[in-house]
Structure 1
């Protein structure tokens, strides 16, 4: 009953706020689009209105694992996937250089498949803003590490239906990023 009520309210809000606009695109949406947005709404409410919590995957890294373990696990999980490391942003090291003070660890790993990236941008040039795929490693105040990445379900299912060939590639990227995060969170290789 609660889910029915939530979907009804969400549907009414969409219809009210967008008028007939939603009705004009609903038939073009991925079949899982409403599930994606319903899940985002739940996370948005549960987090007290934090947009990041609603749109990002989060995993806590197992106790005892550190930055070197995380890096090795991410790299290992990417092998053979077609996603390649296209850069890292060692933000905590840069902040230490700028401030002269020790910083909590923060590093962003960037991965991409140029061929799939091209297909994504051909499908919608707006996808270029999401490139490359990233996994952020952030140390909290207690010294625990957390992983954050864009919720790739939005990419695959959040909008208009993708051509089957591109959707297969998009799912591959989504699944690979998820695997990389799980591996890094558990120390897997």
Structure 2
């Protein structure tokens, strides 16, 4: 009898280990190893993973999107981004038209353009803190237009970059929040043609 109980317990442990090892490890890490992380880390990772589970698209889970009003022309969007960048103490470091396809199908990308923005002084501070922040630089806003005329401004959700690890020093947190504010408000306002 004891052998059967031990055998069943072992079999159950093996099934849980094989089928749920990653999930168990994530749960263990979240509960026991996240003590020195920013208090916003676990909610940020949870929100991202919830979007990944819902849409199956990790890129979508890490981005913010703003639909462009139909009465706002693409060049007005570009002019607005450039004007608003200055208002938020950012510099436009790039404006690249990726492509335009005149005969795009309704659900196909017809036009794509990337605007790069950066605060050079903040960038220097963050690179000195961790060179891996360079992977986030410069901040980008992409204008995407579909064949059906729908247009979107897409930019990175900076929550994980700010709160996903150990807490940033207070002065760096303030800098990061100013960049985050710009990367929310510039596309949000440009989408409605605000200058």
TM-score by length of 2: 0.79
CA distance in 2, matches of 1:106, 1:78: 20
1:31 alignment partner, one of 35, 39, 49: 39
Residue of structure 2 in register with 1:182 after alignment: 188
Aligned-residue RMSD, C-alpha? 2.3
CA distance in 2, matches of 1:159, 1:137: 30
Which residues of 2 match residues 66-105 of structure 1 at below 5 A? 66-92=73-99, 104-105=110-111
Residues 61-103 of structure 1, C-alpha deviations (whole Å, 9 max, x = no match) = 112222111112212221232210011111015xx7xxxx767
- Any gaps of 5 or more consecutive residues in structure 2? 1-20, 105-109
Residue of structure 2 in register with 1:6 after alignment: none
- 1:135 and 2:141 correspond: yes
Q: Secondary structure at the match of 2:87?
A: coil
8 Å Cα contact 2:68/2:191 also seen in 1? yes
CA distance in 2, matches of 1:19, 1:31: 17
Moved over 3 A (4+): 12-15, 17-24
Residue of structure 2 in register with 1:153 after alignment: 159
- 1:40 and 2:48 correspond: yes
- Number of matched pairs: 170
TM-score by length of 1: 0.81
Residue of structure 1 in register with 2:18 after alignment: none
Distance 1:45 1:18, change over 3 A: closer
8 Å Cα contact 1:86/1:111 also seen in 2? yes
8 Å Cα contact 1:44/1:50 also seen in 2? yes
Residue of structure 2 in register with 1:56 after alignment: 63
**1:15, distance to aligned residue in structure 2 (A):** 5.4
- Any gaps of 5 or more consecutive residues in structure 1? 1-11
